[in-house]
Amino acid sequence: MLSLLRTWRERGWTEIDRSAYEQAWQRFGGSVATHPEVVERLSRFVGIELRYLGWIVDGAVVAAVPCWGRHVALSKDVLKREGKRGLLDMGNAEIILPIAADVEVPVRQRMAYVSELNARQISTLRDLPQGLALARAPEDYSKKFRYNQRREQRLLEEAGGTLIPMSDLSPQEQAAAYGDLFQRRWGFDVPGKAGLAEVFTLLREFMTGSVVMLDSVPIATQILYRVDAPQWVSLEYINGGVDPQSREFSPGSVLSFVNTQQAWEEARALGKVLRYSFGRADREYKDRWCHKVPVYRV
């Protein structure tokens, strides 16, 4: 019965290998959550079988999907079913599948937060009402807003605060700082706590952004992953943590300003569009930094 269901779900699709999937991603683009290295390393880490499906026209792969069974790879539902939610948290990451611009395909793997970039390419999509929060371009902030952010950064630095690259910390230090600051801010353990150090080790080359330090101690951190597609930069803000006792310095706000500004500068230097996702458009603070864009599900 399961075999028949899979045959029905995958009709029109052909199983392809990792190399073919990677070639499709590098040609057509994708996001952090569909990047070949990201899905392969994390699938191996959590011990869930990863398969790739391709839509083939005239012998060429024109669309591809990384799969965990009937779901797209890295699915929260699969992690929950397998009892592995404590190992991995990728937030509500934007899903951009590698699909040729002039192709429309019926993707039947379950997935959420599918990008507007795929809206005309996937025939099976349905709207997700909450939308996705993407960081505004620097010029979309008011002069007053930018002035206030620079003022907050200056006051933090005058109090002895500094910003250092996330890469200056080891994966173990990143995990300890993030876990501690998240717990202080929210009062409960950070999602994916059990696997933090190993996930940060596996994805180290994709981590970006800065950490706010005060008296050589982290007081604000954000988990950001970045990948470069041919026409855009995909950057996922998974989650963050901040020390509530340092609230007078607004370290979280300073960090958001510095990280978003730097990301825009780097993307524009490459001549690419930046898709800096804060995940689901569900929090008031995201309205300060982001604009809401359509998002879809299967």
Round to whole Å and give the CA distance between 209 and 142. Answer: 23
Domain count, the chain: 2
The domain boundary residue, chosen from 76, 110, 130: 130
Contact 192, 218 (CB under 8 A): no
Residue 186, amino acid:
W
- Tell me what pLDDT residue 151 has: 95
- Tell me what pLDDT residue 3 has: 73
Give the DSSP H or E segment for 61: strand 60-68
Query: 9 is written with which tokens?
Result: 């779900």
The domain boundary residue, chosen from 101, 130, 159: 130
177 and 96 co-located in one domain: no
Contact 286, 133 (CB under 8 A): yes
Round to whole Å and give the CA distance between 213 and 188. Answer: 22
DSSP state of 195: G
Structural domain span for residue 120: 2-130
CA distances from 164 to 197, 250, 271 (A): 19, 16, 26
104 and 230 co-located in one domain: no
29 and 107 co-located in one domain: yes
The domain boundary residue, chosen from 88, 104, 130: 130
Tell me if residue 83 falls in helix, strand or coil. coil
- End-to-end Cα distance, the chain: 22
- Tell me what pLDDT residue 7 has: 83
Round to whole Å and give the CA distance between 94 and 275. Answer: 9
Residue 151, Cβ neighbours under 10 Å: how many?
Answer: 12
Q: What's the burial of 12, exposed, middle or buried (CB within 10 Å: 0-12/13-18/19+)? A: exposed
114 and 212 co-located in one domain: no
pTM > 0.85: yes or no = yes
CATH of the domain at 243: 3.40.630.30
- Tell me what pLDDT residue 124 has: 97
192 and 255 co-located in one domain: yes
224 and 202 co-located in one domain: yes
75 and 118 co-located in one domain: yes
Round to whole Å and give the CA distance between 80 and 88. Answer: 10
Tell me if residue 251 falls in helix, strand or coil. helix
Each residue's pLDDT expressed in tens, for the chain with a length of 298 residues: 657 788 888 889 999 999 999 999 999 999 999 999 999 999 999 999 999 999 999 999 999 999 999 999 999 999 999 999 999 999 999 999 999 999 999 999 999 999 999 999 999 999 999 899 999 999 999 999 999 999 999 999 999 999 999 999 999 999 999 999 999 999 999 999 999 999 999 999 999 999 999 999 999 999 999 999 999 999 999 999 999 998 888 999 999 999 999 999 999 999 999 999 999 999 888 999 999 999 999 9
Q: Which residue's entry shows tokens 């709207």?
A: 127
